[in-house]
Copies of this chain bind each other. A is one copy, B any other.
């Protein structure tokens, strides 16, 4: 008997009617002869409302207490969904992240899963219960409630699927799969039937938005197949798994965009200062992720260093860097009006014309490129925020992804 893990986001369970629809889907999966573990997020805007309540009390609430607060959102969801499934006469039990054995580190509000102790889940499945697990949350070794950061429920679902050796992890969302570009921005974007882990990882990191990159990492590491599909239909979506075809013709799979960036540039840093280590270890200590990094060549013994971060972390990043700078001579410049546009595809680096083709597409539309970064399977360009939607469109067209 196969185990299927199904993950439902906050919009899929936003009200009573939607909860009942999800309950019916779970029960029908059971009737098809599967054991089901469902992972759910907080309902609709619950998390935002809780954050607002916290901010009304304190500008800078302790992160441990934020996690204590936010974890209630999924706990409400699992209880209500379990009640809905019970009303369909299907035995069911709900489990918090802690009860589900989601053990994390102690980085409150941004914890990472360290282990999944699925003894309780297994024993409940053994009793023929559907098991509903609260996504996004876990428990640290010191028995404190932690949360995994925005979108962490995807990671919870994949981690449980990996620990249980599940046949499939289904991610239900409000779109019907992964597209060659954001279909809201590119009307003729094409739904992809199948994407490899590596490409999906880039698409996820780069802002395709349907799936958390950490979830894809865990899936790739354990070979868990993911099916991204719509909460509102029974149609097939996009399968994410190891793609085995030796050489594929189309090297570019899709275009992704991330409009949640900010660029920081440190101007005129003396080259004897070990600025890379200084800056990036200080930022890491604050758990601030740095994305694109470019160090301009040294001239006159000074160097310029640019990098991008999530826009929401700009204030704390600037504070961190100011603490390093103290009364040095170099300057800090930042730009919030930037966005990252990327093309993603397997074997891209063996096809050297790809980056050039992207640059030419942008150039033809007079879109400036501030920073470039590349990997085995992607080329990313930082462009002005006001141009990024056009940049996605022209790249999508240039690579003929609509076909």
User: Which A residues have a C-beta under 8 Å from some C-beta of B?
Assistant: 16, 19-20, 50, 53-54, 56-59, 61-62, 64-66, 68-69, 71-72, 75-76, 78-80, 82-84, 86-87, 92-94, 96, 99, 120, 143-145
The 5 tightest CB contacts between A and B, nearest first, are A69-B79, A72-B72, A68-B79, A61-B83, A58-B87
Residue numbers in B under 8 Å from A87 (CB-CB): 57-59, 61
Question: Do the beta carbons of A65 and B53 come within 8 Å of each other?
Answer: no
Residue numbers in B under 8 Å from A76 (CB-CB): 50, 53, 69, 72
Question: Do the beta carbons of B68 and A75 come within 8 Å of each other?
Answer: yes
Question: Do the beta carbons of A143 and B99 come within 8 Å of each other?
Answer: yes
Residue numbers in B under 8 Å from A61 (CB-CB): 83, 86-87
Interface of A is mostly: helix
Q: Give complex CA distance A221, B90 in Å.
A: 44
Question: Do the beta carbons of A84 and B71 come within 8 Å of each other?
Answer: no
Residue numbers in B under 8 Å from A80 (CB-CB): 53-54, 57, 69
CB distance from A80 to the nearest CB of B (A): 6
Q: Which of A50, A72, A143 has the most CB of B within 10 A?
A: A72
Q: Give complex CA distance A76, B94 in Å.
A: 19
Contact A57 B19, CB 8 Å, known A65-B79, A72-B76, A75-B72 = yes
CB distance from A126 to the nearest CB of B (A): 15
Residue numbers in B under 8 Å from A54 (CB-CB): 79-80, 83
Residue numbers in B under 8 Å from A19 (CB-CB): 57
Question: Do the beta carbons of A58 and B84 come within 8 Å of each other?
Answer: yes
Residue numbers in B under 8 Å from A75 (CB-CB): 68-69, 71-72, 75
Question: Do the beta carbons of B68 and A94 come within 8 Å of each other?
Answer: yes
Residue numbers in B under 8 Å from A16 (CB-CB): 53, 56-57
